[in-house]
């Protein structure tokens, strides 16, 4: 990869009472499902879907309820609107709603979960002559055994109204916190798996994609390793997924795409083995960006690119332009001589 110096290649991009708290929680319950986000790809090689938008809050809004409404995890909306009280933003606040996504690298098939992004992508098999689609949802993640879940697995079982058998480690954790758990929890409002669960082959079947009885936590690293979805999101996805569907669990904090000669960058805070986000190390992030760009000759606005990497808020930014290498003097002289000779022969 050759990086050309570009001084400036771009100049664009872009108290709460107990009663209030209760109302906010109720509003989250009412908006526990985001509208399914389905995108049709004009071409199989398309890499960017959706669009960012802005909304103006009304008094009853919370960022948690708005996140659910716009198919975002709560942290996604909070991160791009710093300084706004997530529980009581107040009326008349203009918020950025990040709805534009670079599709994860790799095959566009089955389910793909990008852990740093806290997002699931599903590529339904296109019908003959039908459009290519991708459906995307926010998810929660948790502690992951990096040697097993990361990589390719598959759905091995589907359960409606599942029973939860808390692992011994989870029961011990709750007991130490003074919140003992029973050996099993049947279907109903107390079941943290929600109404639908899909078991993965990874980890000897211990990992699930499932719903939740705590939708406010979608988008956070709060699970014990499973992938948690808004209740209505998992209800919509569940019937679409046949047993055997491939599932790729990936760890891609930096994604790039080329669109009309522009280099687009989408950066998310990396996650550790506990599934927790942490501040990116800029030099390491820069190396990831260089690796993603490969051998393409580009002009990158590095100051701006590092700013985008530092924020790691998931908002796509244009950080470079495709460029042509300058012609070496010897080649330029050769070309000039050839042109002169051709002109003389006419």
Which positions are catalytic?
A: 210, 226
Give the count of alpha carbons within 13 A of 245, CB side only. Answer: 26
Distance in angstroms (rounded) separating the CA atoms of residues 200 and 223: 15
User: Closest Cα partner for 299 from 324, 320, 275, 329?
Assistant: 320
Distance in angstroms (rounded) separating the CA atoms of residues 193 and 207: 11
Distance in angstroms (rounded) separating the CA atoms of residues 117 and 148: 19
Contacts of 298 (CB under 8 A, 6+ apart): 1, 2, 3, 4, 263, 320, 321, 322, 323
Distance in angstroms (rounded) separating the CA atoms of residues 343 and 254: 51
What value, to the nearest 5°, has the Cα angle with vertex 304 and ends 98 and 280? Answer: 70
End-to-end CA separation in angstroms for the chain = 41
**Is-contact 54 96, C-beta < 8 A?**
yes
């Amino acid at each position: 990869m050759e990086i050309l110096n570009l001084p400036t290649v771009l100049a664009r991009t872009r108290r709460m009472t107990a009663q209030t708290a209760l109302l906010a929680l109720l509003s989250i319950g009412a908006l526990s499902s985001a509208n399914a986000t389905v995108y049709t790809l004009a071409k199989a090689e398309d890499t960017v879907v959706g669009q960012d938008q802005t909304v103006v809050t009304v008094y009853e809004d919370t960022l948690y309820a708005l996140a659910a409404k716009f198919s975002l995890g709560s942290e996604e909306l909070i991160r791009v609107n710093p300084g706004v009280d997530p529980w009581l933003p107040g009326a008349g606040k203009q918020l950025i709603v990040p709805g534009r996504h670079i599709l994860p690298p790799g095959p566009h098939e089955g389910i793909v979960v990008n852990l740093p992004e806290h997002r699931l992508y599903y590529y339904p098999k296109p019908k003959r002559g039908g459009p290519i689609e991708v459906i995307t949802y926010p998810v929660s993640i948790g502690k992951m055994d990096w040697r097993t879940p990361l990589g390719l697995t598959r759905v091995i079982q589907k359960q409606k109204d599942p029973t939860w058998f808390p692992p011994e480690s989870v029961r011990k954790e709750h007991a130490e916190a003074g919140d003992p758990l029973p050996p099993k929890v049947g279907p109903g409002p107390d079941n943290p798996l929600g109404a639908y669960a899909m078991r993965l082959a990874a980890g000897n079947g211990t990992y699930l994609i499932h719903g939740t009885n705590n939708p406010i936590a979608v988008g956070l690293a709060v699970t014990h390793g499973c992938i948690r979805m808004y209740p209505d999101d998992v209800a919509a996805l569940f019937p679409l997924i046949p047993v055997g569907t491939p599932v790729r669990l990936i760890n891609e904090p930096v994604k790039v795409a080329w669109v009309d000669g522009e280099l687009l960058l989408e950066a998310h805070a990396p996650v550790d083995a506990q599934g927790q986000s942490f501040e990116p190390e800029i030099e390491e992030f820069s190396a990831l960006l260089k690796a993603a760009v490969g051998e393409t000759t580009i002009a990158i606005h590095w100051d701006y690119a590092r700013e985008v990497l530092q924020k790691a808020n998931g908002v796509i930014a244009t950080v470079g332009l495709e460029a042509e290498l300058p012609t070496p003097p010897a080649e330029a002289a050769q070309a000039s001589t050839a042109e002169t000779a051709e002109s003389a022969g006419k």
